[in-house]
């Protein structure tokens, strides 16, 4: 759900359902709910502390999806006002099905409540001047307490990530832009790692739909399917589960269409216009490469099917390649145990220099190949490589998942594909 001050909408960005919450000058969210054991069912009560929680209006909203699950709007289903001691009780105007609901405080500070008509949710929290409400006491609803546990750690990460990306879009300084990009990529790795850790530690919990909103459905198709299936019995009648299911189906359809796409070869009368390093792109099947390694053995890219593979075109004489090699080494050390391999294709002509560079740069993976033909390298010509370094990331099915990955961007993408 995306909230801009008074207005809100649930959107799909890049095939990803998001409940990104923005309040005036800050991105601040509290995802939590609870139930008091002695309160009426199908109701929310609680006490807010701090000046911002006294005598404030609240609006409980449910999400109403648009046609075919695309777009939609919030619909108010109950209102309340806290007294001057911060106490409140809100009774919806209908029986609630198990779902994610939004409690908007003062028209700018939202909370997401997981509940149904059998629960009395009780919340105790301080409403700050601004920013994220990071601490709340939630009783009577395990899923509500769990979803708050997730967002209490996730939202600071997501807020920082959004700020970095926003600043990056505004800056015109290339060095600053690269620094911001690297920091954003690292923050994305941290956020994705926490989302996947939470899913692993809370199997079957309704709270698991929260982490899904921060992960890419195409890169995590199996995990999305697993979570949606595990939570279907509890949440299949809710709008959030339906929206995530549709987004996942659309992402899978896009992936399948990309795999079925034929690489264009021209209009039949004229040859295709050459493009730098782009004969094959995301969604294309990576052509096989068969070439000799330093010991004279044939190594094939196809033998690594089932792994995520970085096809890395480089050379010992290429300065930018050598400067990028430490990033590839770090990625290999971090992700090799999880199914990551590097298939290095050298455009060298001197075998001794090629082998020396492998040793000097610590490229300690087995898949190094070269035909000692320089720019006439058979694999480089087949892939249309016209400048190096050039790398393509190939997924477990042999499909190109990303290109032109350097620095932290490689680790970020591997984090999506492998975790």
Average pLDDT, stretch 346-350?
A: 94
> What's the pLDDT band for 3 if we cut at 50, 70, 90?
very low
Q: Whole-angstrom Cα distance, residue 10 to residue 349? A: 56
CB 406 within 8 A of CB 412: no
Q: Whole-angstrom Cα distance, residue 353 to residue 275? A: 30
> What's the pLDDT band for 264 if we cut at 50, 70, 90?
very low
Torsion-angle region of 80 (φ positive above 0: left; ψ -120 to 50: alpha; else: beta): beta
Q: Does residue 224 carry a pLDDT above 80?
A: yes
Q: Whole-angstrom Cα distance, residue 304 to residue 397? A: 10
Residue range(s) in the chain whose domain bears CATH number 3.40.30.10: 290-418
Sheet holding 120-126, edge to edge: 87-90, 43-49, 120-126, 136-139
Token output for 366: 């087995």
Least confident of 23-37, 89-103, 123-137, 234-248: 23-37
Pairing of strands 2-4, 21-22: parallel
> What's the pLDDT band for 219 if we cut at 50, 70, 90?
confident
Q: Whole-angstrom Cα distance, residue 104 to residue 80? A: 10
Where do we find the tokens 């806290």? 82
Pairing of strands 72-81, 390-394: unpaired
Q: Whole-angstrom Cα distance, residue 265 to residue 272? A: 5
> What's the pLDDT band for 255 if we cut at 50, 70, 90?
low
Token output for 136: 């709340």
Q: Is 8 helix (H, G, I), strand (E, B) or coil?
A: strand
Q: At what angle do helices 221-235 and 174-201 cross, to 10 degrees?
A: 50
pLDDT tens-digit profile of 384-402?
Answer: 888 899 999 998 888 898 8
CATH of 290-418, one of 3.40.30.10, 3.40.190.120, 3.10.310.40, 1.20.1250.20: 3.40.30.10
Within 10 Å of residue 374's Cβ, how many Cβ atoms?
A: 15
Q: Whole-angstrom Cα distance, residue 166 to residue 277? A: 29
- 293, exposed or middle or buried, with CB in 10 Å at 0-12, 13-18, 19+? middle
């Amino acid at each position: 759900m995306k909230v801009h001050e008074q207005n809100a909408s649930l959107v799909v960005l890049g095939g990803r359902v998001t409940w990104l919450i923005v309040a005036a000058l800050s991105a601040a969210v509290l995802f939590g709910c609870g139930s008091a054991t002695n309160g009426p069912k199908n109701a929310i009560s609680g006490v807010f502390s701090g000046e911002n929680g006294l005598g404030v209006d609240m609006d409980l909203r449910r999400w109403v999806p648009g046609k075919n699950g695309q777009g939609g709007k919030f619909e108010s289903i109950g209102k309340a006002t806290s007294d001057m001691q911060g106490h409140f009780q809100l009774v919806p105007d209908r029986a609630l099905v198990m779902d994610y609901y939004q409690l908007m405080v003062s028209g700018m500070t939202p909370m997401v409540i997981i509940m149904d008509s059998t629960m009395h949710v009780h919340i105790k929290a301080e409403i700050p001047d601004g920013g994220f409400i990071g601490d709340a006491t939630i009783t009577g609803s395990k899923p509500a307490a769990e979803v708050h546990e997730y967002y209490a750690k996730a939202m600071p990460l997501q807020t920082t990530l959004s700020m970095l990306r926003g600043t990056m879009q505004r800056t015109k300084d290339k060095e600053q832009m690269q620094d911001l990009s690297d920091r954003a990529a690292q923050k994305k790795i941290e956020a994705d790692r926490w989302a996947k850790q939470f899913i692993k530690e809370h199997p079957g919990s309704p709270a698991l739909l929260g982490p899904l909103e921060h992960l890419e459905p195409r890169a995590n198709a199996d995990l999305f399917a697993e979570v949606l299936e595990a939570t279907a019995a509890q949440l299949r009648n809710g709008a959030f589960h339906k929206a995530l299911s549709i987004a996942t189906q659309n992402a899978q359809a896009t992936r399948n269409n990309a795999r079925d796409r034929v690489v264009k070869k021209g209009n039949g009368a004229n040859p295709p216009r050459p493009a730098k390093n782009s004969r094959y792109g995301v969604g294309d099947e990576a052509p096989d490469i068969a070439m000799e390694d330093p010991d004279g053995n044939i190594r094939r890219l196809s033998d690594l099917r089932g792994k995520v593979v970085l096809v890395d075109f480089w050379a010992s004489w290429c300065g930018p390649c050598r400067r990028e090699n430490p990033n590839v080494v770090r990625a290999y050390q971090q992700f090799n145990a999880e199914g990551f391999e590097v298939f290095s294709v050298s455009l060298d002509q001197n075998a001794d220099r090629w082998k020396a560079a492998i040793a000097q740069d610590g490229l300690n993976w087995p898949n190094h190949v070269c035909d000692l033909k320089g720019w006439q390298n058979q694999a480089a010509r087949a892939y249309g490589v016209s400048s190096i370094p050039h790398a393509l990331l190939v997924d477990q099915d042999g499909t190109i998942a990303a290109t032109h990955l350097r620095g932290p961007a490689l680790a970020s993408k591997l984090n999506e594909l492998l975790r």
